[in-house]
Structure 1
Amino acid sequence: AMKMVAAHGLVGGVGGVGGVGVGWPAVYRSMDAGNMMSSGLTLHGGMAQSFLFKRSMSLCRPTAARMLLTSDEPMMLESSRRTGTRAQRAFCPVHGSCSLLAGSTDGAFPSRKSIHRSFANLVAVAALVLCNQQAPQGLPSLLLPACAKELTSEQRLAVEAWKVTDREYVDRTFSGQDWFARRQKMAQRKYAERTDTYDEIREMLASLGDRYTRFLTPAMYDALFSSATGDVIGIGVELKTIEGDTKASPPQPMRVVISSVVPDGPADKSGVLPDDVIVDVDGVAMEGLSAEEVAAKVRGPAGSRLRLGIARPGQSEPVVLVIERKDVKLAAVTSRAASVGGKKVGLIQIKQFSTSTAADVAAALDSLLAQKPQALVIDLRGNTGGYFTGGVDVARLFLPQGSAITYVTDRTLAEVAYTTYSDGRDTTTPLLLLVDSRTASASEILASALQDNGRATVVGSTTYGKAVIQTVSALSDGSGVVVTTARYETPKRTNINLSGIKPDVEKECPSKVDATQCLPSSF
């Protein structure tokens, strides 16, 4: 079984998710009993989420009397983390087929006492009672088959989303709701069209009360996946979502703003500027859409043209630009030497974390160390995350052997400790980290690892506070669901979720300001 792991920051070239986007994938192997994981990625996110892309297929594995056979796939009798009685879990097939209920297909359940009394007979005939077979005569009425109708394609898709969420979600209480009853509701509802199914999935995910768990349309999933793998065809911008204010007068809708423009990219050459608000794409209004949804609209085949309507601060009339889409690559790591207060300083800026970030930082570090700097500065301002292991591996470049980096706990409460295996490339040169309120997730893993180990001085403002990990699983129609599946703590066992990392030296320094101007006066 294979999973691919990544994390996410601003979307290189085309957009983001609530102000964030995606890095690139790397591979690790992991076994998951009962499921075959194929090509996918794990995104460990910035201000919105950390993700795992995963395609999976069920394997029908015989498990003696602990499994009730149906005409489609086995239903486990025991699943301690699901709500509902054992009888409910056993008798409600996901895909439709023999429910083994006495003449009923309406979801009514026999009593627990009846279930226990008839359990031995039930197991004996379970393999025989299929929708196209007749039950043996003389059996109790409980065992007479009541064959439900085969689920429609829309019902199957809805239940598929439920199953992925059931398998991955970190909170096994599912916010205290009757989680099994919700599956039954989704399986029994009649959907007029695909949009109705999507709405039902959204409602199911929203019921968990987790801001990071949500639904992706096929276009949104494709944009996210392509950005994560580095296959970006767009105009060369980074997007962020500005939340609306319904209480304002007049009410302010959610809107998407261009946070930065890739130098010499299509958008830059066409005159797009940071802080431009995207009004429409090819004549379709973008008001009320998230950065991720706008990114899906902006992307397209290389060489195709995009009509972009933008609202620019200080101008009363919208600006309309026609831009040709191209393959865009972000320079996620840049470095330079500078003189600050008479001291030679090596500056490294990391815009997002990808599978190549650690190697890029290592190369930059080697080049700077050859110039014998008196101090090093890593600029993480505005870096909303990226590939999870990228943050871990960059920390390893600066820490001595045996240093703790982070602790990750998954939905099964299993913990994985990330540490250093050997001394890093540089463990002695004075090191400063620049952070701000948008420094999140994988960036916070790096910052907390260096801060907790006493390796770096953190300068700036309190970071975002994102210490949970999401998975992104593709559904059969090309859409996807984003589900929170793990949490992490700093080396000192601090949970920074929602609280962030407190800097050692507080200093407001917007990302537009040059890093050399952000260093403390004592430096």
Structure 2
Amino acid sequence: MGFPSLSHRHPAWARGLLLALLAFSPLGFSAQPAASGADTEAGSQAAAASDEEQPKGLLPINELRTFADVFDRIKQAYVEEVDDKTLLENAIQGMLTELDPHSAYLKPEAYQDLQINTTGEFGGLGIEVGMEDGFVKVITPIDDTPAQKAGVEAGDLIIKLDSTPVKGMSLAEAVKLMRGKPGSEIVLTIIRAGVDKPLEIPVIRAVIQVQSVKGRLLDPGYGYVRLSQFQINTGADMLKLLDKLERQNGAELKGLVLDLRNNPGGVLQAAVDVSDAFINDGLVVYTQGRLPDSEMKFRASPGARLDGVPIVVLVNGGSASASEIVAGALQDHQRAVIMGTSTFGKGSVQTVLPLHNNRALKLTTARYYTPSGRSIQAQGIVPDIKVENAQLTRVEEMDRVKERDLSGHLENPEGEESPGDGDATTALSDSDYQLHEALNLLKALNVLNRPKLKAVAEAPADQG
């Protein structure tokens, strides 16, 4: 059933809205007379033709009239009364939502959350999320958070929060539902690639305190640094960790694994700081946009940590934005081997533009490019060596008899030592196959680069 036509109604507030939109716009507007009566069709065609020739800098008056008309119809005919503020804020959200997945209108709560996220402490489940086909997509679970411990994985699609379907929600509404009192439980219903039925995963909310830099020695001489996201102090914290690892090792490191898997990005300057730590000189990243201040170039300062030491950077589909800046810079400068799977492919830069009344715009203002001029937007960083995340299945072999097991075998003049069983390496290959392969590559690079052995004794001369 339809509703009565409201085209004859043009209350004063609707006319006032149209005038306000024109009066407060920093742009001019194109004055086109409205068509009426029998001239409606011809007027529409003329308006369409005129729109095609719309001069830049002028607002299209017909579209503004349409906006005011839609606003009028909603106010008059929608089943429930909606206040003007809600309608206008929804219109603003719609403008930003249709631009790209990363631009957004931030209300006070969302604006505060964004500011908190860059400092490393916030409440919730511990997942970086986006929207895909109307559902909430998990970009990555953050290390050591309730979501990761509960088994949430990058690429999962959340279709329900407790009993509430996600379809039709905005991302901000979904995030608001996921947050709550620490210690309370929420059930995520997710769809996972390769799994036939939806999974229900209960997660206990907590105050998330993210430590963006962690690390340890994998083997004597081989360090491991894990960056879970890029916060303001990530670069400085990483340098402190490298100092600590070298003290623990008692000497300079022989190789380093930099783990950027499932790192959703963060602060651009932090990505520059991390790249600068390993690059002696040259361009790290540059950005290009429409505004003059969006054209920026970031260069490495002279001097680098671990100069000449082999580095392997681990990436996957959850490595996004600032992670891709680091991987792209080290790859272009041939300073590291990139290993893993292709990255997320977010090659754009967002600027937070504060507004009045504790609101802000998060607006995509530039694209970024790697030092060689590559844009990874919607493409990602392709690893130098592709290594999928895998689970090893070992083949059982019979115990073989070796020379040392034979009765009466000749002794080694340098003495006999029992060969190591490699328990630590075996455990690493079982728990993290990609990291195991990265460590193996570092060891192989050091084998190729080690100096030749000097002769300690001359071979005895032939006697005849």
2:237 corresponds in structure 1 to 360
- SS in structure 2 of the partner of residue 434 of structure 1: strand
1:433 corresponds in structure 2 to 313
- SS in structure 1 of the partner of residue 60 of structure 2: helix
Q: Which amino acid in the other structure matches residue 31 of structure 2? A: A
Deviations 1:150-200 (A, max 9, x none): xxxxxxxxxxxxxxxxxxxxxxxxx99886237955688556523322332
Q: Check 1:293–1:516 CA distance in 2 against 1; reply closer, same or farther (3 A cut).
A: same
Whole-angstrom CA distance in 2 between matches of 1:213 and 1:179: 24
1:274 corresponds in structure 2 to 152
Whole-angstrom CA distance in 1 between matches of 2:203 and 2:262: 28
List aligned pairs for 1:13-412, cutoff 5 A.
Answer: 92-94=22-24, 108=31, 180-181=59-60, 184=64, 189-190=71-72, 192-193=82-83, 194-205=85-96, 208=99, 210-234=100-124, 236-241=125-130, 243-244=132-133, 254-257=135-138, 259-260=140-141, 263=144, 272-275=150-153, 281=161, 284-289=164-169, 292-300=172-180, 305-308=184-187, 310=189, 323=204, 325-339=205-219, 344-370=221-247, 371=249, 372-400=252-280, 402-412=281-291
Q: Check 1:309–1:213 CA distance in 2 against 1; reply closer, same or farther (3 A cut).
A: closer
1:452 corresponds in structure 2 to 332
Whole-angstrom CA distance in 2 between matches of 1:499 and 1:317: 29
Q: Check 1:283–1:438 CA distance in 2 against 1; reply closer, same or farther (3 A cut).
A: closer
Q: CA deviation at 1:456?
A: 1.1
Q: Check 1:284–1:416 CA distance in 2 against 1; reply closer, same or farther (3 A cut).
A: same
| Higher relative contact order structure (alpha carbons within 8 Å, sequence separation ≥ 6) | 1
Whole-angstrom CA distance in 2 between matches of 1:95 and 1:330: 42
- SS in structure 1 of the partner of residue 241 of structure 2: helix
Q: CA deviation at 1:357?
A: 0.7
Q: Which amino acid in the other structure matches residue 196 of structure 1? A: L
Whole-angstrom CA distance in 2 between matches of 1:305 and 1:221: 24
Q: Which amino acid in the other structure matches residue 141 of structure 2? A: S
Whole-angstrom CA distance in 2 between matches of 1:312 and 1:445: 30
Whole-angstrom CA distance in 2 between matches of 1:350 and 1:477: 35
Whole-angstrom CA distance in 2 between matches of 1:499 and 1:257: 19
Deviations 1:194-227 (A, max 9, x none): 332233224433565x343343455444433332
Aligned residues: 342
Whole-angstrom CA distance in 2 between matches of 1:468 and 1:454: 23
Q: CA deviation at 1:356?
A: 1.5
Match of 2:383 among 503, 517, 522: 503
- SS in structure 1 of the partner of residue 339 of structure 2: strand
Deviations 1:313-332 (A, max 9, x none): 88989868584x54321122
- Can you give the 5+ residue segments of structure 1 that lack an aligned partner in the other structure? 1-90, 100-105, 111-174, 245-252
Match of 1:513 among 429, 432, 437: 432
Note if contact 1:347-1:376 (Cα within 8 Å) is conserved in structure 2: yes
1:119 corresponds in structure 2 to none
Which structure is larger by alpha-carbon Rg, 1 or 2? 2
Q: Check 1:312–1:416 CA distance in 2 against 1; reply closer, same or farther (3 A cut).
A: closer
Q: Which amino acid in the other structure matches residue 370 of structure 2? A: T
- Can you give the 5+ residue segments of structure 2 that lack an aligned partner in the other structure? 1-20, 34-53, 76-81, 392-430, 446-464
TM-score computed with the length of structure 2 as normaliser: 0.61
Q: CA deviation at 1:369?
A: 2.9
Whole-angstrom CA distance in 2 between matches of 1:416 and 1:107: 36
Q: Which amino acid in the other structure matches residue 485 of structure 1? A: T
Q: Check 1:417–1:284 CA distance in 2 against 1; reply closer, same or farther (3 A cut).
A: same
